[in-house]
Amino acid sequence: MAITYQKEISPGTFFALWKIEECVEELRAKLQLKKHEEEFLQSIHHDKRKLHWLGARVLLRAMLNTNTYIDYGVDIQGKPFLINFPYSISISHSFDYAAVMVSEQYQVGIDIELISPKIEQVAPKFLLPNELNFIEFNHRIEHLYACWCAKEAIYKLNGKRGVSLLNDIRLNPFEYQQRGKIEANLIADDSHFTAYFEKFDKYMICWVIR
């Protein structure tokens, strides 16, 4: 499978989706991995997690259009970065899709989630009462996912552990549409973000730059 969907945000900043239809062996054959990466891959016991780990790296390789080994690192907070390419990156995956966002200019964050009614059960764990109050009845599930993905994308861009989706990332009221934007604030460092969301098939995608 090749890239399923790609979107340019600005010159040098874009994201793409890869629908993971390959098996572990097929994805592994598309990559160059060093010994520590092979060892980490073998330590993953759940096949779906292996597919997500491999799928995101295959997608990144396709996006950068390179045969060169991509030296991929993770900082002490768990945020991914590239050692030998001049891009900031963010990675997400959900069920059959991997999503990767890259930028030559900005810090980035992306999140993708399969839309499911189950989100109603956990909504009070990531949305404050005033945020729950602006959720539209007619698009309740999609509206909740736009909120969830926005907070996750901001969390990933920020890249620091200990940030609470519920208390530290606040969303301004917004109307739900198939594509839209959300104004948000990260309380921890008093910063403002505009997060963009888009429904893709049965998934919600959200991205943010700084």
What pLDDT, in 10s, does the model give residues 121-157?
999 999 999 999 999 999 999 999 999 999 999 999 9
CATH of the domain at 183: 3.90.470.20
pTM of the model: 0.96
Say yes or no: 205 and 184 in one domain. Answer: yes
85 φ, ψ (degrees, to nearest 5): -135, 145
Say yes or no: 115 and 203 in one domain. Answer: yes
Answer whether residue 54 shows pLDDT above 90.
yes
Say yes or no: 8 and 99 in one domain. Answer: yes
> Which of 81, 104, 127 represents a domain boundary (last residue)?
104
Answer whether residue 60 shows pLDDT above 70.
yes
Q: How many domains does the chain have?
A: 2
State pLDDT tens for residues 61-91.
Answer: 999 999 999 999 999 998 999 999 999 999 9
Say yes or no: 98 and 115 in one domain. Answer: no
> Which of 82, 104, 126 represents a domain boundary (last residue)?
104
What residue numbers bound the domain in which 59 lies? 3-104
Contact 210, 110 (CB under 8 A): no
